[in-house]
Amino acid sequence: MSLLLAVDVGNTNIVLGVFDLTQGMGSPILHSWRLATTRERTADEFGLATIDLLKHVNLDPERARNIVISNVVPPLHPVLEAWARRYFLTEPLWIEPGIKTGIKILLDNPQELGADRIVDVVAGIEKYGAPLISVDFGTATTFDVVNDKREYLGGLILPGIKIAADALSTRASRLPRVEIAKPERVIGRNTVQAMQSGLYYGHVGQVDGILERLLKEMPGATVVATGGLAKAIASESKYIKHLEPDLTLEGLKILWLKNRK
């Protein structure tokens, strides 16, 4: 069995997935894990953690000789480069300008586009076709839009729900930190409930308001959601019809297959 390690490095979490490559483009994801993004973590710490995770699910690390990485945290680039070379004896494929995506990027400066965003739309198009709107609920909530010609038009970036929660507790001295969760009712009967309701339904309303406007400009587009908080928000959204927790990892696999040497 030949394995592919797909690594998506975000500001809050590092998501790691492993694929069995014997089935080509249809290779299934075998397992995935979510680690905290720690800028102080060394290549050795990351290597030992990765090997332990693979062995825990009875996968042989010796068979993982293919690695693809999307990274939005530049200080971790040399750490992951060393990790791939030292523990898996390979040069990773980095998702960066110049790789083959099959999508024309119509931005003023294409190099500004975050690696995770192009990965999401590549996977979304592979699964649902175009036009497409991808919504990723991470540290930031991002919207990415592709027309029926597979041209990436651009998108939107807004603070994620956790950033909003942190801002409330940091800037208002009497407001506590609260768990991000769907409340039982809209009207909160205490401070914590009121904050949870405001954060949750405020974000749902914000997301649906943006999607309503985007769908007027891109009628017929499929809306797909991914990211750590996608499940909670998508369940209440009027416009999100497809939930894909592993969309970014699937996109990394597709791009590795398109660009392998």
Distances 3 to 10, 19, 67, 91, 101 between C-alpha atoms, Å = 22, 6, 9, 14, 22
| Domains by residue range for the chain, with CATH | 3-94 (3.30.420.40), 104-249 (3.30.420.40)
Q: Is residue 116 annotated as part of the catalytic site, yes or no?
A: yes
Mean pLDDT of 8-33: 90
What is the side-by-side strand order in the sheet with 93-94?
29-36, 13-20, 3-9, 64-71, 93-94
Instruction: State the CB neighbour count (10 A cutoff) for residue 260.
Output: 11
Instruction: State the CB neighbour count (10 A cutoff) for residue 159.
Output: 15
Q: What is the pLDDT of residues 204-213, one digit of tens each?
A: 999 999 999 9
Q: Are strands 140-146 and 132-137 parallel, antiparallel or unpaired?
A: antiparallel
Q: What is the pLDDT of residues 99-141, one digit of tens each?
A: 899 999 999 998 888 888 999 999 999 999 999 999 999 889 9
Q: What is the pLDDT of residues 206-246, one digit of tens each?
A: 999 999 999 999 999 999 999 888 988 888 999 998 999 99
Q: What is the pLDDT of residues 157-172, one digit of tens each?
A: 999 998 988 888 888 8
- Name the β-bridge partners of 143: 135, 156
Catalytic residue among 116, 120, 136, 144: 116
- pTM across the whole model: 0.90
Residue keyed to tokens 């398109």: 258
- Name the β-bridge partners of 136: 142, 226
pLDDT band at 1 (very low <50, low <70, confident <90, very high): confident
Comparing CA positions, the residue from 183, 172, 116 lying closest to residue 144 is 116
CA 3 to chain CA mean position, Å: 21
List of residues 6+ apart from 106 with CB closer than 8 A: 151, 152, 153, 154
Is a pLDDT exceeding 90 seen at residue 8? yes
- Name the β-bridge partners of 32: 17
Specify the amino acid at residue 3: L
